[in-house]
Amino acid sequence: MTAMTPTPYRVVTRHAETHDTVTLTLEPCDAAIAPVRPGQFTLLYAFGVGEAPISVSGTGPLLDQTVRDVGAVSHALTVAGPGQMIGVRGPLGVGWGIEETTGRDVVLAAGGIGLAPLRSALLYALEHRASYGDITLLVGARTPGDLLYAAEMADWRGRGVRVEVTVDRAHSGWDGQVGLITTLVSHLDAAPDAVAFVCGPEIMMRLTARELLARGIDDVRISLERNMRCGIGWCGHCQLGPWLLCRDGPVVPYRDAAPLLSVREL
Amino acid sequence: MPWILDGLADLHGALRADGYTVIGPTYRDGAIVLAELASADDLPYGWGVTLEPGGYRTRRREDDAAFAHSAGPQSWKPFLHPPRVKLWEGRRTEDGGFSIETEEETPPRYAFLGVRPCDLRAIGVLDHVMIGGAHPDEAYGARRTGAFIIAVNCTEPGETCFCASMGTGPRADTGYDLVLTELIGEGRFLAEVGTGAGAALLDRIPREEADEAVTEGALAEVAAAADRMGREMPEPEGLRDLLAGSLDAARWDDVASRCLTCGNCTMVCPTCFCTTVEDVTDLTGEHAERRQRWDSCFDLDFSHLPGGSVRTSGKSRYRQWLTHKLGTWHDQFGSSGCVGCGRCIVWCPVGIDLTEEVAALREEQEERRD
């Protein structure tokens, strides 16, 4: 048993979120991994296929992990049904740090699959509702059919979260907003000392963070993606400038990341 | 107290008697390589090297010096951090799950005979990466802890050496059990003790006390070697800031027009540690293995993401390598990743010289400032 050995888990439920994305709920076969903080990730292993870094989307001892089918490993994970064994290594990386931002408004801004790591922060805040100010969730998706956790949004609204959704392309029957997530940010009503957590494609995070800064919110944290082979600082693949993102990230302060993200192919 | 050893046969014999696999330089296939030394006779007596960017040739010396050659194609990295390692084996179980077994390997007990000061520092740098963090690589740790290190101060720096400017040589400071200085032409070695284990080993072999004049003479030769380095790293203390401020330098296009992105520099570098993880199965799909093997930031797939690789251009990959080695290594691991051994210059097929690249980046920065 080393840091490179997966811990066996079993799929309890498999919930199809969209045409290419599923949420697996995993339970340990024997021993569990250490408790996961919101924003941390695991490496999920499909037997004989390989490992992929997947963020943890819930707060419980069972692991909610939302996987989008984009390659061989993620495909094997998305087709895993109840009872199937999955290897888990983690928890890895630093999280959002929401545990330390009590007393403040919370803004969560998600693009596409970027909602997956934010869901854990949102659920954490709801479990400690009295400790936080206003909670706002801004979600951008390509189409209404690409929205994750659509069935849960009513519940979140009911528990006092302001949820705003926009899509790039609507179909008939969509009565929500159409356009960029930055438009949602420009109508944001949050105190300047709010903390903002942003996850999505890099361009979306940059534009969203800039808009948040323009709205006077300075504490913007983003969750970055880079190739990860080990998750524990051995392999060197996830470097971005001074960071090993598996160790120093994936969540980093936007103000530190901004000069790095503006350099092509860094 | 320094001692004089008449040859290294007794030292080698004592190490073997203690069960060590003795690794050191030896002449093979036109190069000085690191391999197991069956006896002290296997050392490359009388061989020197001629180095240049993109060039390495051994040459016969007029004396029978054992350590009058500078860094060869290998460093000690392959012994401590092997190019390929099997991490575990898995097999399908009857209930459709799988089980994973890690082999309990007995780590080799290496004695490294002839570690140059640059390479000694490189081992220290590698230690920090591999076992200095929150997730130490235990297999590396076992290999490393068991190793007995005999350094050799450098009196014959090569044309591509720049350890003096990186502050890593030509004299070894710490990190050895014993350190030797060869008295070239005499077949004798000055031996100084670094650890209790080193002292205990010396106690068991024939030796003479070194008189002050011999010791001073030998160490003066080592000090003089600092002035005979073929290369110099310009202003090494400012490298972190230089690289961080040069991400959009025009020089990257220039070096990219020469760089073949072959990754040789990363393979020969004594501190380049990057690996990839390979998960494989046999044809039945019932057995799986996880392996770790060396990887290079020059490989196009190194930065692969589902949307495509982050660093596709050769320019961005060379920039990643040099910026990491000389700059962001400080942020990640608290030191430079470069020890001045010069291997990346010698083994680059087109002779790219990082000291030249740094000088050009510095010049470009100064021009921009003016």
- Residues A167-182 pLDDT 10s: 999 988 899 999 999 9
Q: Do A265 and B316 touch (CB under 8 A)?
A: yes
What's the pLDDT score for residue B136?
95
- Residues B99-148 pLDDT 10s: 999 987 788 899 999 999 999 999 999 999 999 999 999 999 999 999 99
Cα separation of A153 and A126, whole Å?
13
Cα separation of A190 and A211, whole Å?
13
Indicate if B206 and B77 belong to the same structural domain. yes
**Coil, helix or strand at residue A139:** strand
- Residues A92-111 pLDDT 10s: 999 999 999 999 999 999 99
Buried b / exposed e across A110-130, counting CB within 10 Å, b at 16+?
bbbbbbbbbbbbbbbbbeeee
Q: Do A232 and B134 touch (CB under 8 A)?
A: yes
Domain span at residue B58 reads: 3-228
Tell me if B31 sits within 8 A of B55, measured CB to CB: no
Interface of B with A in 144-183 (CB under 8 A): none
Task: Please give the distance of CA B171 from its chain centroid, rounded to a whole number.
Answer: 16
- In chain B, helix, strand, coil percent, each to 5? 35, 20, 40
**Domain boundary at B228, B250, B272, which?**
B228
Indicate if B105 and B143 belong to the same structural domain. yes
Indicate if B277 and B254 belong to the same structural domain. yes
Tell me if B135 sits within 8 A of A234, measured CB to CB: yes
Token code pair at residue B74: 């290998």
CA distance A44 to chain B (A): 12
Indicate if B189 and B148 belong to the same structural domain. yes
Indicate if B85 and B156 belong to the same structural domain. yes
* The domain made up of A98-223 is a member of CATH 1.10.3720.10: no
Within chain A, all domains assigned CATH 2.40.30.10 are found at 7-92
Tell me if B269 sits within 8 A of B118, measured CB to CB: no
Indicate if B216 and B257 belong to the same structural domain. no
Indicate if B185 and B323 belong to the same structural domain. no
**Mean pLDDT, rounded, for A7-19:** 97
Task: Name the residue with tokens 């690589």.
Answer: B137
Q: Do A48 and B279 touch (CB under 8 A)?
A: yes
Total of domains in chain B: 2
Indicate if B69 and B101 belong to the same structural domain. yes
Secondary structure letter of residue B273 according to DSSP = -
Interface of B with A in 88-147 (CB under 8 A): 88, 90, 92, 96-100, 102, 130, 133-135, 137-139
**Domain boundary at B181, B209, B228, which?**
B228
**ipTM of the complex as predicted:** 0.94
**Domain boundary at B161, B195, B228, which?**
B228
Tell me if B37 sits within 8 A of B12, measured CB to CB: yes
Cα separation of B14 and B12, whole Å?
6
Indicate if B207 and B63 belong to the same structural domain. yes
Tell the CATH superfamily of the A7-92 domain. Translation factors (2.40.30.10)
Which residues, in sequence order, are bridge partners of residue A9?
A: A28, A86
Q: Which of B290, B305, B324 sits opposite A4 (nearest CB)?
A: B290
Cα separation of B215 and B190, whole Å?
7
- Residues B296-337 pLDDT 10s: 999 999 999 988 999 999 999 999 999 999 999 999 999 999
**Mean pLDDT, rounded, for B195-208:** 97
- CA dihedral B136→B142→B146→B151, nearest 10 degrees, is -40
Indicate if B197 and B263 belong to the same structural domain. no
Tell me if B162 sits within 8 A of B154, measured CB to CB: no
Within chain A, all domains assigned CATH 3.40.50.80 are found at 98-223
Indicate if B195 and B84 belong to the same structural domain. yes
Angle ∠(A177,A108,A26) on CA atoms, nearest 5? 105
- Residues A209-253 pLDDT 10s: 999 999 999 999 999 999 999 999 999 999 999 999 999 999 999
**Coil, helix or strand at residue A239:** strand
Indicate if B217 and B254 belong to the same structural domain. no
